[in-house]
Structure 1
Amino acid sequence: MLDTAVPSPGPAERCVRALLSPWFRLGLLVVLLGGAVAAVLLCRPERILADGWPARLSGGAAPVLFAVAYGLCTAAFVPRPVLNVAAGALFGGPVGTAAALVGTVLGSALSFGAGRLLGQEALRPLLRGKWLRAADRQLSRHGFRSMLALRLLPGLPFAAMNYLASVSRMGWLPFLLATAVGSVPNTAAYVVAGSHATSPTSPVFLAATGFIAVTGAAAAAVAWRRRPRTLRAALARRRAERGAG
C-alpha cells in the first residue's frame, strides 16, 4: 500500500508562509505608517511656508518634486490644507493647483495600494458591525459615486479615507477618478488662498476663503440633516430583526 501522507512543511516553508500571512502584512503596514509619520515629524514639511522652497531645487522640475513630496506626505497623514496653501504660496494659483492635484492622486494611489496589498486580507473579516458592512457595500458597489461624494466634502480625514477605501472591493480606476475629480474644488480654493496670503484683504483671497467656509458649513449641514434619517433607519432595522427573531 502506497504511503499518501503529506510531508510536513520545513522551516523555510513555514517562514515564507508566516511572512506572507495577512496579519504579518498588516503589521508591516502599521510599521511603515509609523515610520512615515515619524519621518514627517522630524522633517517638518510645514517649514516650507516660512522658509520657502529650497533654492537648489528651483526651476521647471520644482513643481514635479513638490508633487512627489506632496504625495508622500499625504500618505503619511500630513493635512492636505497645509500642503495646498504651500503649493499656492510657492508656485501661484495655476501651477500650484496642478502640482497639488497630481500630489493628491499620487498620495491616494500610494495609500490605497499599500492598504490593498498589506491590510485588506486581514481587515475584511473584521467588517462585522452594521455600519462597517453598510459602508463596505456602498464603496464596493458604487465606488465612483461614493468616493466622489467623500472627496467633495471638506473636513474628512483624507489619508484615513484612502486606507479605509482600500479595505473595500472598490476598483482602482473608480477610486482614482473620483479622487482626481472630487478634489479639484477645495484643492483649488486652498491653493488660491495660499497664493494670495500676503494680501488677505484682496477679493481673490476673500472669495477663496469664503468658498472654503461655505463648503465646510454645507458639509456639516448635510451630515446633520442625514443624522435623523440614519438613526431612524437603524431603529427600523433593529425592529425588523427583532420581529423576525
Structure 2
Amino acid sequence: MLDANRSGTATAAPRAAATELAVLAAVPVPPLPRAGLAARCTRAVLSPYARLSLLLALLAGAAACVLMFEPQRLLTHGWPPQLGGAAAAVVFAVAYGLCTVAFVPRPLLNLAAGALFGSQLGLGTALAGTVLGAGVAFGLGRLLGQDALRPLLRGRWLKAADGQLSRHGFRSMLVARLFPGVPFWAANYCAAVSRMGWLPFLLATALGSIPNTAAYAVAGARASAPTSPAFLIAMATIAVPALAGTVVAWRKRHHLRGR
C-alpha cells in the first residue's frame, strides 16, 4: 500500500511540472524593446566622425564668408563711420576673433588694428581678439574634433608634437606664439586635439602674442611714416623673431625625427 502511494506521487510530480511548462509556453512573451529611431539618430549625430564633419563644414563656411566679405578691405576703406570709441574697439575685437577662426592671417588684422585705433588701443583690441579667436578655435576643436582625430596620431612627428603639447602645454604654446612660423589656426587646433588644459593654452596665447602683436600694431599706426624710428623698430621686431623661429625649427628637425 505504501509503495502504491509512493508510485502515485512520483508519477504526479512530472505531470504537474509538464502542466506548468505548457501553461508558461502558452503565455506570450513580450519582445524586447528596440532602440528607437530618435536614439539611433542621436548616437549617429553625436559620434566622433559626425562631429568632425560638422567642424569641417563650419570652417569651410567661415572661410567662404571671409572670401565673400573680404575683411582686408578695412585697411583701405577704414572703419564704418557710425562706430567709434569703445564700441568700435569691442566690435573689432569680436570680428578679429571670428576672422582668425576663419583662417584670416593675424598680421593683416594686427595692421588694421593699429591703423584704425592707434598703437595702444590697437594693441589691446588685437590681443583681446587674439585670445577670443584662440579660445573659440580651441573649444571647437576640443568638442568636435578631438575624439575623432586622436586615434589618428600614429606618425612619429604627430606623436612627438602631441606629447610635447600634452606634457608641456604652457611652455610649448608660449614658444609657438613668440616665434612666428606655426600658423595661428594650426597651433589652436593642434592644442585642441592634445590634452592641453584651457588655462595654460589661453595664458600662453595672451602672453606670447604680445611682442608680435605690438610690433604689427605699431607698424600699422605708423604706416604713413615708413621712415620713422617707431616703424623701423616695429619691422625689426617682426623680422628678428621670424628669423629666430626659422633657425630653431631647422635645428629641432633632427630631434623630432629621432623620436
Aligned equivalent of 2:219: 193
Q: Are residues 5 and 173 of structure 1, via their aligned partners in 2, closer, same or farther at CA, if it must alter by over 3 Å?
A: farther
Q: Are residues 160 and 6 of structure 1, via their aligned partners in 2, closer, same or farther at CA, if it must alter by over 3 Å?
A: farther
Give the secondary-structure state (helix, strand or coil) at the position aligned to 1:206. helix
Q: Are residues 6 and 150 of structure 1, via their aligned partners in 2, closer, same or farther at CA, if it must alter by over 3 Å?
A: farther
Unmatched tracts of structure 1, length 5 or more: 235-245
Aligned with residue 115 of structure 2, among 89, 100, 123 = 89
Q: Which has the larger radius of gyration?
A: 2
Deviation string 1:65-110 (CA, Å, 9 cap, x unpaired) is: 1000000000110000000000000000000000000000000000
Aligned equivalent of 2:84: 58
Once the two structures are TM-superposed, the CA of residue 5 in structure 1 deviates from its matched residue by 8.1
Give the secondary-structure state (helix, strand or coil) at the position aligned to 2:104. coil
Letter matched to residue 191 of structure 2: A
Counterpart-to-counterpart distance in 1, 2:238 and 2:232: 10
Counterpart-to-counterpart distance in 2, 1:5 and 1:134: 52
Aligned equivalent of 2:4: none
Contact 2:127 2:209 in 1 (8 A): yes
1:11 and 2:37 are equivalent in the alignment: yes
Name the % identity: 64
CA-based RMSD? 1.7
Aligned equivalent of 2:126: 100
Counterpart-to-counterpart distance in 2, 1:43 and 1:155: 27
Aligned residues: 233
1:48 and 2:65 are equivalent in the alignment: no
| Higher deviation after alignment, 63-72 or 221-230 | 221-230
Aligned equivalent of 1:158: 184
TM-score when scaled to structure 2?
A: 0.86
Aligned with residue 57 of structure 2, among 20, 26, 31 = 31
| Higher deviation after alignment, 85-94 or 222-231 | 222-231
Aligned with residue 136 of structure 2, among 102, 110, 119 = 110
Deviation string 1:195-243 (CA, Å, 9 cap, x unpaired) is: 0000000000000001111111111111122234444x24xxxxxxxxx
Counterpart-to-counterpart distance in 2, 1:142 and 1:78: 28
Runs of 4+ in 1 over 4 A off after TM superposition: 3-6
Letter matched to residue 226 of structure 1: K
Give the secondary-structure state (helix, strand or coil) at the position aligned to 1:55. coil
Letter matched to residue 231 of structure 2: F
Aligned equivalent of 1:73: 99
Once the two structures are TM-superposed, the CA of residue 57 in structure 1 deviates from its matched residue by 1.5
Unmatched tracts of structure 2, length 5 or more: 1-23
Counterpart-to-counterpart distance in 2, 1:30 and 1:46: 23
Aligned equivalent of 2:7: none
